[in-house]
Chain A
């Protein structure tokens, strides 16, 4: 059973789920279409891979990925709030800039292999059945991230962050420093995205300078699928939906690949999936009374 593609999709769903939580924060909570994600996902993978290749602790690499992801989001936030660069452009600039940085992190190589090197999963496999190492760690990290977000989004700061994404004018008139809220949200989101990148790179045993391409679309597709399947009536439900969406997305991908779709067509498939979701009035209706799909663009 553990070798089946469905099981693999489940593992991936959890690892990528951490990224989807990040996209949820920026895109949905903050209403900020943040393309930094494509770069910060790779950044996470690149940092973890490089640290491991250098013979250092994979946990350190994973933690550093998180920290530098936070940093990337912070820079995007500053570009937007201080220099008043539009959200899309700020994200694109970061994505492009990070491409070069990621190559540097990987020592100028487009790919770093981690074959036969120790990763966080090899450590976990020492204490758990090795077949379940990825799944158990993925579940722990994804659940912890979702839970922490759940708690944070109900704190005074978290409420201010949500209000900023919902209604900026109202937030400012209520004394919320909306610029700080945005910087914070972007940092958190990209931190999670980079953490996910680090975990995915170690899972697939390589980091690749193109591994983040289209991540934003994957993230969106997962968020939408999750909300359709599981609903978004409460915050807890929405966060669970985000993770479930990520798993559903991976299972769907596994299914279409099994039906013979070549890997090279996957990105087109993801894009069409998002377009279909956006175009469907029934789904749009279903996503109310939270944010409408239209507002995410």
Chain B
């Protein structure tokens, strides 16, 4: 499904702030596979997701989605294959537009936008059906501006929008990290439900070790722009959180003690 072959990315090459964020990353995802990604701050997790989504071009390597090489495709074209939810709940929706307008934009992901009405009557029914999945009562607030919603509501909406046109690949970048624990749990439940319902191939970055080990079927760990650990489901079953910490220490040479990964538990 997704093939990432030897991609590297250096920010500010040659400058004083030169930073090698990705260093020959290799990753293959099968169709329907759900993979969690962990790693310390600055490990390159977000950069990996951004590179796949096409936010910037990579310096080396290739990215293939369903046998199509997408390296040269700009972000907005790759969007036809990819649904995304960002860490910042403000990032995934347009605040000055209504819920139905936001959803209408999402239904046109990967399609040509024409000069015809964006929100039609039968769209509204469809939007309501989907919004009901969230159980947040948003189906009664189609004409509410998204800026008036809470962070958790916005994030849930973003998740819904990212999957409204079933994407080939779902990229989640710590999408519950800036929500309060209760809301985070709720959004995570929704995430699991949606992934299961539409059998989405997913790459999910998290700082929560517990989530990392129990969601999906595989966990990869990144450090300094590289994948340093790749655990399949069987291996994960025999791995405790302290084990994971230990593995991180071994693989990277650093303890994770002062990292927020620990605090997340």
A289 and B96 within 8 A (CB): yes
CA–CA, A170 and B147, complex, Å = 14
> Which residues of chain B in 86-124 are interfacial with respect to chain A, using CB atoms and an 8 Å cutoff?
86, 90-97, 101-102, 104-106, 108-111, 113-119
CB contacts (< 8 Å) of A166 on chain B: these are 94-97
Q: How many B residues, CB 8 Å from partner?
A: 40
- Verify if B133 is at the interface (C-beta below 8 Å from A): no
B161 and A162 within 8 A (CB): no
* Given known A155-B118, A159-B118, contact A290–B96 (CB-CB < 8 A): yes
CB contacts (< 8 Å) of B92 on chain A: these are 170, 173
- Verify if B186 is at the interface (C-beta below 8 Å from A): no
Secondary structure dominating the interface of A: helix
B96 and A154 within 8 A (CB): no
- Verify if B79 is at the interface (C-beta below 8 Å from A): yes
- Verify if A163 is at the interface (C-beta below 8 Å from B): yes
Q: How many A residues, CB 8 Å from partner?
A: 26
CB contacts (< 8 Å) of A174 on chain B: these are 79, 105-106, 108-109, 161
B118 and A158 within 8 A (CB): yes
Nearest-CB residue, chain B, relative to A157: B113
B108 and A170 within 8 A (CB): no
- Verify if A160 is at the interface (C-beta below 8 Å from B): yes
* Given known A166-B96, A167-B93, A173-B92, contact A156–B75 (CB-CB < 8 A): no
A175 and B94 within 8 A (CB): no
- Verify if A178 is at the interface (C-beta below 8 Å from B): yes
- Verify if A291 is at the interface (C-beta below 8 Å from B): yes
The listed residue (A162, A169, A178) touching B91 by CB distance below 8 A is A169
CB contacts (< 8 Å) of B91 on chain A: these are 167, 169-170
CA–CA, A172 and B76, complex, Å = 5
B117 and A154 within 8 A (CB): yes
- Verify if B80 is at the interface (C-beta below 8 Å from A): yes
5 new A-B pairs (CB below 8 Å) besides A154-B101, A289-B148?
A: A155-B116, A160-B108, A163-B105, A174-B108, A175-B109
Residues of A within 8 A of B (CB): 152, 154-160, 162-163, 166-167, 169-178, 288-291
Residues of B within 8 A of A (CB): 53, 55, 74-77, 79-80, 82, 84, 86, 90-97, 101-102, 104-106, 108-111, 113-119, 145, 147-148, 161-162
